[in-house]
Amino acid sequence: MNDNPRPLTIGIPRETYPGESRVALIPDLIPKLTKAGIKVKVEAGAGKAAGILDDDYRSKNAEVVGDRKELFESCDIILQVRGVGANTQAGRSDLGLFKQNQSVIAFFEPLTPDKSLKELAQKGVNVFSMELMPRITKAQSMDALSSMATVAGYKAVLLAAEKLPRMFPMFMTAAGTIAPARVFVIGAGVAGLQAIATAKRLGGVVKGYDIRPAVKEQVESLGAKFVEMELEAGNAEDKGGYAKAMGEEFYRKQRELMAKVIKESDVVITTAAVPGKKAPILITADMVKAMSPGSVIVDLAAERGGNCELTKPGETVEVNGVYIIGTDNLPSSVPFHASQMYARNITTFLLHLVKNGKLEINTEDEITSGTLITHNGQIVNPQVREIMGLSKDA
């Protein structure tokens, strides 16, 4: 009889997505895992881009492993920022490293899945997607999407302020009065509300808009003016609390009504994205043409095609003197705190799954079943199965 069974072991690989600077676990959280009977292994250099050294992990009794293959072979659970579904090129080299009954927790972009999810299922890997965390009170501390949206909304305003040839606050000077920057934030989810708050802190005059009238109070509580759209939006919110896709006729009328506000704005920040779908076009080329030279658009939906017709994902373009920033992976540009927030989310989730030093996949639990994509060799998440065209019996 083995009186000292091997403890549950988690592995933290170095992220391989181009430009990804975050890491899935920070050293300060390791004692919580150790207390729960979990051993931590970290690939050498995993935290370097976030300002975390290997010795920082060692100081918390984590084992630093130099070989990636060895890390995967020796761990029961892999924690990542970007799983292979969200890292479709570089991430594919990890597919051969996973083993049967291993689990992985990460962002996977499961609502735009590729064949990697099927391959992981066939290998017998349990995949948990952080994007699918239910929006319920019990899971708030595990909501990594909201954490990353907070970082993106904050950084979007800083990018705009750096590019704008004006200062944000009003100044009364001997040289005269300097008018404040006029900022328009489209979308009042977590990213939009953080953008509004940051723009207000910098001294801008801020307006906000969302297709969900219920968020008016939140926008106004931050000191911004809510732009009223006299439209019958119907139910503009899905069961998870996210804005849902509306009909093209709705978006056409919306664009007409917003054209005036955009024309009067120095900075426009767009955050309108629907999970798994192409972002709606809210700013047309004609609207950009009507903006004053030097104005700035920061498009947080660039990775899903962009809310601006002229956005180029991952690039900053200038059109008629207007700068359009098609930001890509913005949370990674603040890697220290983004890693800190993500690590807390994923650690809380991991500890929710682990009971008495073992991973328990309880499909009766709403949080577990909501995030579980593959189990027992199958794609099990109903939403993902529908998107992949899998029948109930497949």
Answer whether 170's CB lies under 8 Å from 147's CB: no
Active-site hit among 54, 76, 143, 210: 143
Angle (nearest 5°) at CA 124 between 122 and 130: 100
Who contacts 63 (Cβ-Cβ below 8 Å, separation ≥6)?
39, 40, 41, 42
Active-site hit among 146, 292, 378, 383: 146
Structure tokens at 309: 């017709």
Is 146 noted as a catalytic residue in this protein?
yes
Nearest-angstrom CA–CA distance, 131 and 114: 16
Is 21 noted as a catalytic residue in this protein?
no
Nearest-angstrom CA–CA distance, 305 and 85: 18
Is 140 noted as a catalytic residue in this protein?
yes
Q: 296: which strand partners?
A: 267, 323
How do strand 322-325 and strand 296-299 relate by DSSP bridges? Answer: parallel
Is 147 noted as a catalytic residue in this protein?
no
DSSP labels for 267-299? EEEE----TTSPPP--B-HHHHHHSPTT-EEEE
Active-site hit among 58, 140, 238, 252: 140
Is 218 noted as a catalytic residue in this protein?
no
Rg value, the chain, Cα: 23
Active-site hit among 135, 166, 201, 385: 135
What ranges in 98-186 are assigned the alpha helix state H? 116-122, 144-163
Please give the positions annotated as active site. 135, 140, 143, 146, 242
